[in-house]
Amino acid sequence: MFTVIFYEKPGCTNNKKQKALLLEAGHQVQPENLLTTTWTKEKLRPFFGDLPVREWFNYSAPRVKSGDVNPEFLDENTALELMMADPLLIRRPLIQVGDVLTVGFNLEKINAWIGLKPEVPVNQDLETCPRTKAAMSH
């Protein structure tokens, strides 16, 4: 099993579920507060790998929902500057296992990478904020 450094927003419902899945699979989870971590471009950028800039963002963040920040039109440098100033913009969770870093919690990818319990339904959405989904259904 692995030690998983897990950058989260404390109190986030999905982050709690994600950590529980990792723990159930036997991994050690080291939670870190995404909002109070001192981010630099050098520390933050590797989590996003080769993903397009728009996939680096938390679309439930107030500044994205209000239209103040539009991830579709940002370059890498501007995106990182915005995220360092307002960590709520960062898609969650950021995960580090050894030297490997990633963003988001795609069940299929996490399972293939470090393993989860076999009975976990891979089509379950553990990334979209439940409050955002509830608001969209009204």
Residue with tokens 């897990």: 6
Helix, strand or coil for residue 7?
Answer: strand
Is-catalytic flag, 12? Answer: yes
Q: CA–CA distance from 61 to each of 16, 42, 68 (Å)?
A: 18, 23, 10
**Cα(95)–Cα(98) distance, integer angstroms:** 10
Question: Pick the catalytic residue: 4, 7, 9, 12?
Answer: 12
Enzyme catalytic residues: 12
